A and B are shown apart, each in its own frame.
Chain A
Amino acid sequence: MEENWAKKIRGLNLKEFLIEKLLFASATISIIVVILIFFFLFSQGALAFREISIPDFLFGQSWQPTSVIKPEFGAVPLVYGTMVVTFIAMAISVPIGIIIAVYIAEVANPIEKEILKPIVELLAGVPSVVYGFFALVTLAAWIQQLTGTNSRLNALNGGIVLAIMVIPTIVSLAEDAITSVPREYREGSMALGASKWETIRNVVLPSAAPGILAATLLGFGRAVGETMAVLMATGNATIVNFNILDSVRTMTATIVIETPEVAFGSLHYHALFAVAVFLFAITFAFNYLAGVVMRRFRRTGR
């Protein structure tokens, strides 16, 4: 009898022990994957710099990887494309996103809120290829009619569709920041005779500013990494014309367009990984900054 119990307990302990180890192993998979992605991208990307110099890559004005005469791997046109499209998107989505967030958090009545919040969530779920198709067919035609541009697909088209895609991200994060402003702040302001709008403007928005900044940074990271919509909307010409009605090609689009045709192990193959490392570094920096801003906000916000 005694013997049996001891056995059972030992068996149980062993089972508990094994389960804990198994769960632990699963939890480490995320770390392993991140490290693996990091090293794989870097090692493959680094190989490109055996043949092209880093300054040539970073400041080169021409991206002609498949040219027979002289292949060129200058990232400037791609970085330019990404930046133009992203800045147009942010210029549109940040103000509109904040306005919608304020409306949902402070102005809307409970019924409107019940309707608006799920809609914003649903919109965040629309696949980017669907937005891309809309930009390619409908939005591009509208923009061409309005501006009379020759290049039907252009940076403005990409920027606008990207703005639509980033708005849900900014709205939901900014709304969180606004609703987390303590009630006493509002009450104090209203008690001093300020109107609701004055309270929002002078008390609520300044207190929520770090959270809104974090939302903007995360939106920026999202916009830089977005692929299908800009690929289908911008026309993908690797030129730098400083005109938002001209075609541009982003870093993300370049990877999708060129990877399926690239010869494994070639300079071009490694150069595409170098572009991915660059992209990874930019988005990592913005996500990291957003995290820092958020943490500081949490510490000093109360």
Chain B
Amino acid sequence: MNIKLLKQRIYFQIFRITTASVILFLFLMIWTFISNGIGVIDWTFLTDIPRRGMTEGGIFPAIVGTIYLTLGAVAFALPVGVASAIYLVEYAHEGRLLRMINSAIINLAGVPSIVHGLFGFGLFVIFLNLGTSILSGSLTLFLMILPIVISASREALLSVPKSFREGSLALGASKWQTIRHNVLPYALPGILTGTILAVARAAGETAPIILTAAFFFRPTLPKSMLDGTMALASHIYYMATQHPNIALVRPLTYGSVLVLLGIVLSLNLVAIVIRTRHRRRKNW
């Protein structure tokens, strides 16, 4: 009996140490970004354009570019995603069509981002002649985040109890009135969580942006959806591998990494917080 428990204790300790080391390793990684990057981040870095061949100045155009690209993607993905989820949960009947839509969503989520990128390059940039532009990039990112928005919205709608719908229908409301006033409001926190996660994903995507929207250097802000742009994620890649003087710009690169990491992790954190708070408050 004692040997049994000793064995158990040893195994559990090994598991604990393994888990702790992986977490520690990752914190170490994040710490190298913080300690190397925090020094260059100041007001000028965040609001100035890059100067002297990107060896000085800031990353404002890249931040703006990332915001435009993600907002563009969400502007497409949110209406289409929520509408798809409403159809799947509230209207669709079991059958071949439902199965087809489901497997399409799963496949869309499984396609590697670079394949989306090459598709976006071939279709939007070249075939539809939209060029290397925010519109091409947003459309490509839209395809990538659509499955995230659909799955999250579907989960949220499914978690609204059936009785909410029945009560409304029994009072004579139509199906759409029921969904609009008695289902959607309660699914909203879940939909919001999914959308925030999708924004975070889109902001960090790099390969598709490089092929469809990003410029190595473009200090002026984009004036229309058909302009190309700098973006944070692609900027990090270019500064780390393509810049003529990689060693000289390394501190600035650390700064850009820290800004991107800060944006993406805080979005994720907000999503987690909304979800846990909503879960706690829910008492139907």
A residues contacting B by CB (< 8 A) are 12, 15-16, 19-20, 22-24, 26-31, 33-34, 36-37, 40-41, 44, 96, 99-100, 102-104, 107, 116, 118-119, 121-123, 125-130, 132-134, 136-138, 164, 167, 195-198, 221, 224-228, 231-232, 252, 255-256, 259-260, 264, 272-273, 276, 279-280, 283-284, 287, 291
Contacts and interface: CB of A to CB of B under 8 A. Distances in A.
Contacts of A116: 19, 23
A144 to B, nearest CB: 16
A158 B19 CA distance: 22
B206 A127 contact: yes
Nearest to A254: B114
A11 to B, nearest CB: 11
Max chain A C-beta neighbours (<10 A), residue from B175, B241, B267? B241
A133 to B, nearest CB: 5
Interface in B257-284: 257, 260-261, 264-265, 267-269, 272
Max chain B C-beta neighbours (<10 A), residue from A104, A118, A126, A260? A126
Contacts of A276: 114-115, 118-119
A161 to B, nearest CB: 10
A137 B91 CA distance: 52
B271 to A, nearest CB: 9
Nearest to A264: B126
B108 to A, nearest CB: 6
A83 to B, nearest CB: 15
A30 B206 contact: no
B52 interface: no
Interface stretch (B6-14, B53-61, B162-170): B6-14
Given A31-B104, A130-B261, A196-B8, A26 B80 contact: yes
B5 interface: yes
A230 to B, nearest CB: 10
Given A26-B83, A127-B264, A130-B261, A225 B206 contact: no
A16 B79 CA distance: 18
A174 B175 CA distance: 39
A50 to B, nearest CB: 17
B88 interface: yes
A255 B26 contact: no
Contacts of B15: 99-100, 102-103, 107
Contacts of A31: 100-101, 104
Given A20-B91, A96-B22, A125-B268, 11 more contacts: A16-B175, A16-B176, A27-B88, A30-B147, A40-B122, A103-B12, A125-B197, A126-B204, A137-B240, A227-B113, A259-B211
21 contacts: A22-B83, A27-B84, A31-B101, A100-B18, A116-B23, A122-B268, A125-B201, A127-B205, A129-B234, A136-B240, A196-B8, A197-B4, A227-B206, A228-B206, A232-B241, A256-B210, A256-B211, A259-B211, A264-B126, A276-B114, A276-B115
B245 interface: no
Contacts, number: 224
B176 A125 contact: no
B5 A195 contact: yes
Contact of B174 (A16, A123, A260, A284): A16
B88 A228 contact: no
A283 B166 CA distance: 42
B115 A279 contact: yes
A37 B175 CA distance: 35
A227 B8 contact: no
A47 B206 CA distance: 28
A255 B118 contact: yes
A103 B26 contact: no
Contacts of A20: 87, 91, 175-176
B110 to A, nearest CB: 4
A41 B25 contact: no
B152 to A, nearest CB: 14
B16 A34 contact: no
A40 B119 contact: yes
Max chain B C-beta neighbours (<10 A), residue from A27, A102, A118? A27
Interface in B1-54: 4-5, 7-8, 11-12, 14-16, 18-19, 22-23, 25-26, 29, 32-33
A227 B26 CA distance: 20
Nearest to B127: A40
A40 B123 contact: yes
Contacts of B111: 37, 225, 280, 283
A66 to B, nearest CB: 18
Max chain B C-beta neighbours (<10 A), residue from A102, A164, A276? A276
B233 A30 contact: no
B79 A26 contact: yes
A284 B211 contact: no
B159 interface: no
A283 B94 CA distance: 28
Contact of B16 (A107, A122, A231): A107
B117 interface: yes
